[in-house]
Amino acid sequence: MAELTGPARDLARLVVPDAGHLAETGELWEPYQLLDPSGRSIEPVAAYFADLQAAGRASSTIRSYGMDLLRWWRFLWALGIEWDRASRTEARDFARWMQIADKPLRVHWRYQRDPDTAKPEARGSSKSPTGTPNSVTGKPDPGPKYAASTRAHSETVLRSFYDFHRDTGSGPILNPFPLDRARGSGRANAHHNPMDPFKPERQGRYRPKIPIRIPRRIPDEWFNQLFSALKCHRDRALLAFWVSSGARAAELLTSKQRDADPGQQVIGVVRKGSGDYQQIPTSSDAFVWLRLYQEEAWRHGVPRGRNQPMWWTLRRPWRPLNYHAARAMFDRANVGLGANWTLHDLRHTAAYRMARDPKLPLTDVQWVLGHASLSTTQIYITPSKDEVVRDVLAHHARRARESARPLPTPLADGYDAASMSVLFGGSW
């Protein structure tokens, strides 16, 4: 395809093919590879992945960065431009393209060989427009367009990628994804007053504004219905652990059978950010459901041992339960209620329950959740929308009662209002 340059580039008609893919290798030193359409590894990306791994980034982070780089490479392939020849014009048009382009439709693995036979929901075409709230949760569906958070993450990754190659001398001197013009060439937050908050001076020029949202929790009455919709002890144990421990979904799924300690009422997980092993307290109900699940699973032949995974699939051949299978289980329970909660909403629910308990210090909640900063934990003391609506409606009801209350009879001359209040109560 001939290169399109400048304002004449028609992004509305640009076709970005699903060329290349991000491959999981299963190797410790190179967990992911970005492959071109011919199946060859893209060396600049491989070098960047190695630098991320040296900096202690988790494999899941490398995968997340790889998806953003794959999207950028596909855009460049559609334009016929090499990665090291991309200018700020291409970066600008890429930011514009992500605002108007639809996300690619992912066909279910059962229909990948013959996509034409797939049902509409298997092709991903059943998504509602962006901003349409769910009737149960009030949470908007993702929609067919790229979210602002996805575009912001992509801009950060690509700016970091070109910064890496600029510093090593293997890429262009001028980063196609520059910082904001207000930053200029000075150091970020130069001459910062310690009494003032830091200004967002590290933002990129093409980085969109991300709306600040309050984490959404699952109300108790809906959680009870969601819990009742589960079909087996394994799923009940998982939800009981998630909603009482506050552990991330992936953290709990990687636990071993030795990590559960019912005597101390704690379970051990490996933290996502630091990689540290931490024992976090959990409710007694979670261990009851865990024991019921284990006894049932062991009778059917699930591997047993201290070093064996704790969570397994329900059918042979036995495989450790991964995040995607757990999310599919949770989505099936959601469908029965017409809701669209996510696994991470269970962590938010646990955080809200603990943070709103006046007898539980917020620093304890911070430790349980594994937050590096207390300000991150403080977002859970913010009232939810339902609580705000309830309190404001109660305010209006009080105002209505007060306005309907008859005015007291004015006191005759010579009577003291304070004395009358002591004798008869009320206000005079």
Alpha-carbon distance of 399 to 412, in angstroms, equals 28
pLDDT for 70 beyond 90: yes
pLDDT of 20 higher than 60: yes
pLDDT of residue 125: 44
Instruction: Grade residue 124 by pLDDT with cuts at 50, 70 and 90.
Output: very low
- pLDDT at position 187, please? 56
**Beta carbons of 242 and 343 less than 8 angstroms apart:** yes
**By the 8 A CB rule, do 239 and 231 touch?**
no
Residue 259: its pLDDT value, please? 98
Q: Minimum mean pLDDT among 5-19, 48-62, 311-325: which range? A: 5-19
Note the pLDDT of residue 147. 92
Q: What is the pLDDT of residues 381-422, one digit of tens each?
A: 988 878 889 999 999 999 999 888 777 777 788 888 888 788
pLDDT at residue 129, rounded to an integer: 53
First to last CA, the chain: 86
Residue 221 in this model has a pLDDT that exceeds 90: yes
Residue 46 zone, left/alpha/beta (φ > 0; ψ -120 to 50; rest): alpha
Instruction: Label residues 98-132 b or e (16+ Cβ within 10 Å = b).
Output: beebebeeebeeeeeeeeeebeeebebeebeeeee
pLDDT in tens, 282-299: 999 999 999 999 999 999
369 class by beta-carbon count within 10 Å (0-12 exposed, 13-18 middle, 19+ buried): buried
Banded pLDDT at 108 (limits 50, 70, 90): low
Cα atoms in the Cβ-side hemisphere of radius 13 Å centred on 60 = 8
Q: Tell me phi and psi for residue 80, to 5 degrees.
A: 75, 35
- Phi, psi torsion values for 260, nearest 5 degrees: -85, 125
If you average pLDDT over residues 239-255, what whole number do you get?
97
For residue 3, pLDDT over 50 is answered with no
* Residue partners of 119: CB distance under 8 A and separation at least 6: none
Mean pLDDT along residues 346-354: 96
Q: How many CA atoms lie within 13 A of 220 on its CB side?
A: 3
The pLDDT assigned to 1 comes to 37
Q: Are 67 and 22 in contact (CB under 8 A)?
A: yes
Residue 266, pLDDT score = 98
Residue with tokens 């865990």, as numbered in its chain: 290
Neighbours of 370 (CB within 10 A): 20
Is pLDDT at 117 greater than 80 in this prediction? no
pLDDT of 127 over the 90 cut: no
Query: What pLDDT sits at residue 200?
Result: 57
> Alpha-carbon distance 148 to 269, whole Å?
31
CA dist., res. 160 & res. 397, Å (int):
54
Instruction: Please indicate whether residue 329 or residue 201 has the higher confidence score (pLDDT).
Output: 329
Pair 218, 346: CB distance under 8 Å: yes
Amino acid in position 150: T
Q: Is 145 in a helix, a strand, or coil?
A: strand
Task: Provide the greatest CA pair distance for the chain.
Answer: 101
- pLDDT above 70 covers a percentage of the chain that reads 87
With beta carbons less than 8 A apart as the criterion, state whether 176 and 83 touch.
no
> Does residue 4 surpass a pLDDT of 50?
no
Distance CA 235, CA 332 (A): 11
pLDDT of residue 324: 93
